[in-house]
Amino acid sequence: MKVGVFSDADIPSLWAHSFSVMKTAQGMAALGHQTLVVTANSLGATLNRWRHRDLAAHYGIRHPLEVTWLPPSPRAFFNSQTQNDPAFAQRAAELAGARGLDLVYARSYLTPVLTARAGIPTVVETHTTNYDNPHLAGIHQVAGLAAFRGLVTIHADIAQEHARRGVPEDKLLVLEDGVDLERFLIEDDPAHWRRELGLDPDGRYAVYAGHLYPDKGIEVLLEAAQALAGQANLTFLLVGGTKADRRHWEGWCRQRGASNVRFTGFVPNAVLPGYLKAASCLLLPYRLDHKHTVMDIHTTSPLKLFEYMAARRPIVATGVPTVAKVLHHGQSGLLVPPGDTQAFAQAIARVLEDPGLAGALAEGAWRQVRPFSWTQRCRRILDLALGR
């Protein structure tokens, strides 16, 4: 089957959205389908293709994928605001017809409206809770067409709202995000990966991987590092983030004398499993007293949570709804009340000092995450598309 995976922005980029798109494309290819990724070109995308020339390394893709960048309108190209650009959507729909695609999977709104109206089997995925988005309304208008095969989302509440707005319930599918499990079937010895990464093989590392935005709870993590400054040979290792965010938090640490914190900056996703395997524990903090501009803590499905679980290391996380619906406290992780930095620090100390608990949590997370592979997720999407 010929499958087109369409996104109107952000490839390549550091946004989780683009990782989800590329991992989905890999999942389709792993199932034996001829897979094409179609995205919008822009000045920003052109610069990012120069910065991240090795897409396979950037996204941790194990198999080569064909990627096509189509031009949007001139204005969208130069300001790099290509989302919901009509010129790109029209070109993308025309390409879907010209390439004879058997299925369009879209992480955008305008293109799937056009392909569904053209009679091309179409599935759209959306994680947004901005239901009044005028572009999203177009999806509701074509939801009854035979070619519109379904809408995929990550939370039952989102699916329920789309049903209320006109998407037939039998065309709705709720799926958590996924993880590339095969990438974590590697050497499991933390000391091995610490040596590989230039870390102290005998050290202890509390690791966070991801963006360093304030709403990600970075201050909670750093305050926990201060509280645990007396722990012997313990380093808080923060993997990821933009240069600007990294400089901001490095300054925060200098001002407060937090000397047990180290920042790596951005690393390609291909090498991320080694950093997670090097950890003594993995950290997933969030804040509720900060406006969340990047994610909805009630409905999102954080990619890094599933990668943490696949790494088979104990996880300490803030018990926000999006995490608590996946991790089971005391079984696959330790969940801490939001805003309680002291409890976060105590949970870290607990897993560091109790190897039996740490091992049980790690194995519990591994058992729980195994059904969440990208390949299995894509299989479910194809079942929806084919009416199976």
Domain ranges of the chain: 2-178+373-386, 181-371
Task: Tell me the average pLDDT across 304-322.
Answer: 95
CA–CA gap between residue 224 and residue 231 (Å, rounded) = 11
| Residue 206: pLDDT over 50 | yes
Segment holding 246, helix H or strand E: helix 243-256
Burial (CB count <10 Å: 0-12, 13-18, 19+), residue 363: middle
- Which residue matches tokens 């991240």? 52
Sequence-distant (≥ 6) Cβ neighbours of residue 94 within 8 angstroms? none
Q: What is the 8-class DSSP label of residue 178?
A: -
Q: Do domains 2-178+373-386 and 181-371 have the same CATH topology?
A: yes
| Residue 282: pLDDT over 90 | yes
CA–CA gap between residue 82 and residue 73 (Å, rounded) = 8
Closest CA to 21 of 253, 177, 226: 177
> 124, 139 in Cβ contact below 8 A?
yes
Task: Tell me the average pLDDT across 338-361.
Answer: 96
Closest CA to 266 of 242, 302, 294: 242
| Residue 295: pLDDT over 90 | no
What pLDDT sits at residue 133? 87
| Residue 113: pLDDT over 50 | yes
Choose the weakest-confidence range: 157-166, 258-267, 280-289: 280-289
SS3 assignment, position 150? strand
Task: Tell me the average pLDDT across 122-137.
Answer: 91
* Percent of the chain at pLDDT exceeding 70: 97
Closest CA to 179 of 17, 23, 365, 35: 23
Task: Tell me the average pLDDT across 307-314.
Answer: 97
Token pair, residue 12, equals 């390549």
| Residue 365: pLDDT over 90 | yes
| Residue 292: pLDDT over 50 | no
| Residue 162: pLDDT over 80 | yes
What pLDDT sits at residue 128? 86
What pLDDT sits at residue 266? 92
What pLDDT sits at residue 104? 98
Between strands 234-239 and 315-318, the pairing is unpaired
**Confidence at 181, pLDDT banded by 50, 70, 90:** very high
CA–CA gap between residue 241 and residue 263 (Å, rounded) = 9
| Residue 291: pLDDT over 60 | no
SS3 assignment, position 179? strand
> 107, 101 in Cβ contact below 8 A?
no
Closest CA to 374 of 128, 10, 14, 35: 35
Token pair, residue 49, equals 């293709």
CATH of domain 181-371: 3.40.50.2000
CATH of domain 2-178+373-386: 3.40.50.2000
Choose the weakest-confidence range: 258-262, 296-300, 378-382, 384-388: 296-300
Other C-beta atoms within 10 Å of 128: how many?
12
Token pair, residue 220, equals 């909670």
- Which residue matches tokens 């599935």? 123
Task: Tell me the average pLDDT across 205-217.
Answer: 90
Token pair, residue 215, equals 């709403």
Other C-beta atoms within 10 Å of 385: how many?
22
> 33, 65 in Cβ contact below 8 A?
no
Token pair, residue 333, equals 């992780």
CA–CA gap between residue 366 and residue 244 (Å, rounded) = 34
CA–CA gap between residue 378 and residue 23 (Å, rounded) = 10
| Residue 310: pLDDT over 90 | yes
Other C-beta atoms within 10 Å of 126: how many?
21
| Edge-to-edge order in the sheet of strand 66-70 | 66-70, 34-40, 2-7, 103-106, 122-125, 148-153, 172-174
Burial (CB count <10 Å: 0-12, 13-18, 19+), residue 355: exposed
What pLDDT sits at residue 293? 47
What pLDDT sits at residue 301? 67
Task: Tell me the average pLDDT across 345-357.
Answer: 97
Token pair, residue 258, equals 């937090």
CA–CA gap between residue 333 and residue 153 (Å, rounded) = 25
